[in-house]
Amino acid sequence: MTTSLKSSKKNNLSGEVVIPGDKSISHRAIVFGLLSKGKTQIHGSQNSEDVHNSLNVARFLGIKTKVKSSVIFLDSPGIEGLSAPTKDLYFGNSGTGMRLFAGFLSSLNFSSTLTGDASLSNRPMMRIIDPLQKMGAKISATNKENPPLKISPSTGLIGITYKMPIASAQVKSSILLAGLNAEGKTQVQEKYPTRDHTERMMKTFEANISFSKGIVEIEKSDLKTPGQIEVPGDFSSAAFFIGACLISENSEIKIKNVGINNTRKAFLDCLLDMNANIDLANIRQLGNEEVADLVIKSSDLLPAKIMEDIVPNLIDELPLFFLIASLIDGESEFNGLSELKHKESDRLSIMINNLQKLDVEVQLNEDSLKIIGKKDRIFSDEVFDSHGDHRIAMTMLVAGLRSTEGLTITNLECINTSFPEFIDQAKTLGFSFKNG
Ligand code: S3P
């Protein structure tokens, strides 16, 4: 991929794209295929660096894998048959990969060391270490509270009841994966609903799981593979094109195969409340998840007011949401943003700096942000670094649609961690990119 591009103003976006597989669900399909005995085929997985790293780790734990024309084939001896890795397990940029694998690795009777790239090596891990240690896991961070993580052989985990201090699907999933192989019941209580792909996939693999609003319970389970998993398109990838179309004049696009799980689509729900012209068609069930085709038209949006309780359901869309807010007449308000500082980069500070550089007025008060938007705003020509964060990179390329001279974004390789097809699909829809 070109490492830097100049993205510039282009109206009349049009055309149709099929969104590639969901990252969260692809990771989970690999994890559950690994933990259940026998053969699992994963159809429509995301073909990204993050997901490839999880697949490589699965291989190091002793399962056979093959990738053939977009299908991942897994053949696993099951959780009991996994073997001690002879190398460190490298998760690249992926907090999801590391936190999910750490959960079940903590319950196994061999050692493992989990490493990542520079960004992942700076991300907080006490959020999983604390509850896993409470279950009896011998897990620690070697770099204060950051990776690498060291796990020593388990002598058996015990189920706990855990009230999560932060709303995180990664933490919830890590504990549930440990609970799959722990004595007794493991209960996780969440303050606000977070994405529920783990719970859904546990059901698909016949785990002893039950969930109701805010409470998930799991007991030791012998997973059974359904043989085949279908991965819907990634809502968080689709979001960039939804946003691009809404802020461009005379535009209409169709995005096919978009996962619209209720715990993921708060961005869409909010946009609809804000007057966005978006139609959902062909709503259907794909395995345990719901998908739809979206038709989006340029829209005159109302300002946003986002409260803390729905932030986990639009957490990955927030950088883009801030950009959109800057292009709506009036004051938009976002509350409960503290988790945004702990993503692949400090997305809150970076987006505040980026918007200020584009002359947008923003006001930060603790973890609440106000953005004073203007509908007819045209950005000047500026250069932005991605800070190695895929979602910052794609947000700023979308911002270029409102710059006559163009915005140059550098260090774009990070887009490969979640959406390698982004540049080509954006060009299909009419984005204007030049080598920067
Ligand atoms: C994810 C959960 C979210 C999200 C991340 C993927 C997952 O993180 O930001 O991109 O797959 O569970 P947190 O649950 O830690 O907020």
Give the model confidence (pLDDT) of 324-375 as tens digits.
999 999 999 999 999 999 999 999 999 999 999 999 999 999 999 999 999 9
Beta bridge partners of 291: 259, 284
For the Cβ of 290 lying below 6 angstroms from any atom of ligand 1, the answer is: no
Q: How would DSSP label each residue in 112-167?
A: EEEE--TTGGGS--HHHHHHHHHTT--EEEEETTEEEEEEPPPS-EE--EEE-SS-
CATH code that applies to domain 23-230: 3.65.10.10
Atom number of ligand 1 nearest to Cα 339: 16
| 347 touches ligand 1 (CB under 6 Å) | no
4-21+232-435 and 23-230: same fold? yes
Nearest alpha carbon to residue 55 among 67, 44, 43: 67
pLDDT exceeds 70 at position 186: yes
Domain map (residue ranges) of the chain: 4-21+232-435, 23-230
Distance 195 CA to ligand 1 centre (A): 8
For residue 33, pLDDT over 70 is answered with: yes
Q: Please give the angle made by the CA atoms of 398, 401 and 405, to the nearest 5 degrees.
A: 125
CA 135, chain centre distance (Å): 26
Q: How do residues 306-322 score in pLDDT, each as one tens digit?
A: 999 999 999 999 999 99
Tell me how far the alpha carbon of residue 18 lies from the centroid of ligand 1, in angstroms: 23
The dihedral built from the CA positions of residue 400, 403, 406 and 409, taken in this order, carries a sign that is negative
Domain 4-21+232-435 CATH superfamily: Enolpyruvate transferase domain (3.65.10.10)
Place of tokens 């940029």: 93
Question: Counting atoms of ligand 1 from 1, which one is nearest the CA of 127?
Answer: 15
Task: Output the CA 199–ligand 1 centroid distance in Å.
Answer: 14
Cβ of residue 198 lying under 6 Å from some atom of ligand 1: no
Question: Is residue 32 within a helix (H) or strand (E), and if so which, with residue range?
Answer: helix 23-35
Asked whether the beta carbons of 288 and 240 are under 8 A apart, the reply is no
Give the chain's end-to-end CA distance (angstroms, integer): 12
The pLDDT mean for the chain works out to 97
Q: How do residues 199-241 score in pLDDT, each as one tens digit? A: 999 999 999 999 988 999 999 999 999 999 999 999 999 999 9
Cis peptide before 148 (omega within 30 of 0): yes
pLDDT value of residue 69 = 85
pLDDT beyond 90 at 436: no
The residues annotated as belonging to the active site are 316
Whether 61 lines ligand 1, by a CB cut-off of 6 Å, is: no
Indicate whether residue 195 lines ligand 1 (CB < 6 A).
yes
Report the C-alpha gap between 43 and 325 in whole angstroms: 36
Beta-strand pair 330-334/368-373 = antiparallel
pLDDT in tens, 369-420: 999 999 999 999 999 999 999 999 999 999 999 999 999 999 999 999 999 9
pLDDT digits (tens, 9 = 90+) for 69-116: 889 999 999 999 999 999 999 999 999 999 999 999 999 999 999 999
Using pLDDT thresholds of 50, 70 and 90, give the confidence band for residue 2.
low
How sure is the predictor about 1, in pLDDT bands with cuts at 50, 70 and 90?
A: low
Would you state the structure tokens that stand for residue 260, as one six-digit string? 């619209």
Spacing, Cα 167 to ligand 1 middle (Å): 10
**Among 28, 45, 96, 289, residue to substitute to test ligand 1 (most atoms within 8 Å of Cβ):** 96
> How far apart are the CA of 169 and the centre of ligand 1, in A?
6
